[in-house]
Structure 1
Amino acid sequence: MQLHDIETKAGYDLWAGSYEQTPNPVVAVDAQHSIRLLAPASGERILDAGCGTGRNLAAMLTAGAAPVGVDFSPGMLEVARIRCPEVPVFEADLQGVLPFGDAAFDAVYCALLGEHLDHPGRATAEYHRVLRPGGRLVFSVFHPMMAATGMSAQFEYDGRAYKLVAHPYTVDDYEGWLAESGFTAVQRHEFVGDDRMVAEVPWSSWLVGKPILLVLTAKKSAG
């Protein structure tokens, strides 16, 4: 089937209705690791930036945190509202000014979005602004080593196959944007495809041992 490139916002709007039913090895690996690294805690106010269908909001609620979601896709947010009706979610340009005050959150979580942004540095600067001093960021992306091969998220809709536009950023690019935004204590976590991924997405066996996920953790200086 011929693949058609589609811009991120339009793509996620089309994909929203079937996103949760689309087997995705990157999502499977991310689900193992990025929420674990976030370690949401009771009472924490957490921004899920690019919350999509709300797949991670439930885990934050279970931990006793007070999550807030933001996304630029109204289609994805419609699913998130049904999934987690008690969580406030907002539509906003993730590369513009977010609709929150300074120092509003204890943590910011951004999963599997960076490669689809035209200007990731604008987003990370906003994440830094809305974090309280001493707050933390967890930022995950499809691993740049695999993204450099041309792989990108794909889905089918109404008999056509689509491929989301993705940019070939490097690990250094992402770490540089975090540093320029003012983040400190940046740590790199890299994860490969494994048997748990294959159990969830059987066709992904060829990705075992290959770099699938990059997660960067960072802090906003307490000073």
Structure 2
Amino acid sequence: MSSRQDPEPDQYDAFALAYSSANDRNLYNAYYARPELLRLSGDVSGLRVLDVGCGAGPLSKQLQDRGADVSGFDGSAAMIDLARQRLGDDVDLRVADLAAQLPYGDSEFDLAVASLVLHYIKDWAPPLAELRRVLKPGGRLVVATMHPTVYAVGHPDADYFALTQYSDDYEMDGQTVWMTYWHRPLQAVFNAFVDAGFHISKVSEPPPAADTPPELLPTADGRSFICFLFLELTSA
């Protein structure tokens, strides 16, 4: 991977279809992030669940199939269009910005699932305050975010402890796309949730799912792999 200047706003609109296609079957999303988020979410039957940064809706669909009453939002209108095709017009899907006030009332949700969205945001305090607001007291937040060691390994000469913006390129369905992230050290990740009024219930650094196709595994044993950090949190 290489680096360049930041991509334009609403970057996902430009490659929504390619991203959605890759997301449905690649290692990082289909066999790593979503299985662990579903495991941490537990039994969602009958729960009101908010899919934070829902993209084209693959996680929303799996939560829905498990009996959840799902709402979802994303900053990309193109992604929401794809999610409506997957989930149907009767599901509450909205274009909204996690860095702004969310278009939901107080204490609406039992569970919020934030899959690979927080690492795009510089200041976590406002979005975490909003997520706590829309969760019921005692509600849960399940998060997957970029593991801080990814930046440390990929940028060994950089300051690990500095809040740093960086961009990497990826091949998705034959298309090269650029993604921009904010790196923060592990202590800043944990402290952001604690300062926002969440209790950290679980921290997970899992291997890929057991049913991952062998050709997708980064190593023969499937365990020598780390990319995302997973947390289950409870709202006070």
TM-score (norm 1): 0.86
- In the other structure, the counterpart of 1:25 is 27
Q: Which moved more, 1:148-157 or 1:170-179?
A: 148-157
Q: Is the contact between residue 7 and residue 164 of structure 1 (CA under 8 Å) also seen in structure 2?
A: yes
Change (3 A) 1:194 1:92: closer
For residue 84 of structure 1, the aligned residue among 84, 87, 100 is 87
The aligned length equals: 219
For residue 42 of structure 2, the aligned residue among 29, 39, 42 is 39
- In the other structure, the counterpart of 1:15 is 15
Q: Is the contact between residue 194 and residue 200 of structure 2 (CA under 8 Å) also seen in structure 1?
A: no
Q: Which amino acid aligns with 1:25?
A: L
- In the other structure, the counterpart of 2:107 is 103
The runs of at least 4 consecutive aligned structure 1 residues that moved more than 6 Å come to: none
Q: Which moved more, 1:36-45 or 1:207-216?
A: 207-216
Q: Does 1:63 align with 2:66?
A: yes
Structure number with higher helix proportion: 1
Deviation at 1:58, TM superposition (A): 1.2
Distance 2:19 2:48 in 1: 26
- In the other structure, the counterpart of 2:117 is 113
- In the other structure, the counterpart of 1:127 is 131
Distance 2:26 2:11 in 1: 15
Q: Which amino acid aligns with 2:148?
A: P
For residue 51 of structure 1, the aligned residue among 36, 48, 54 is 54
Q: Which moved more, 1:210-219 or 1:102-111?
A: 210-219
Q: Does 1:179 align with 2:194?
A: yes
Q: Does 1:168 align with 2:170?
A: no
Distance 1:134 1:10 in 2: 33
Q: Does 1:154 align with 2:157?
A: no
Deviation at 1:125, TM superposition (A): 1.3
Distance 1:2 1:143 in 2: 18
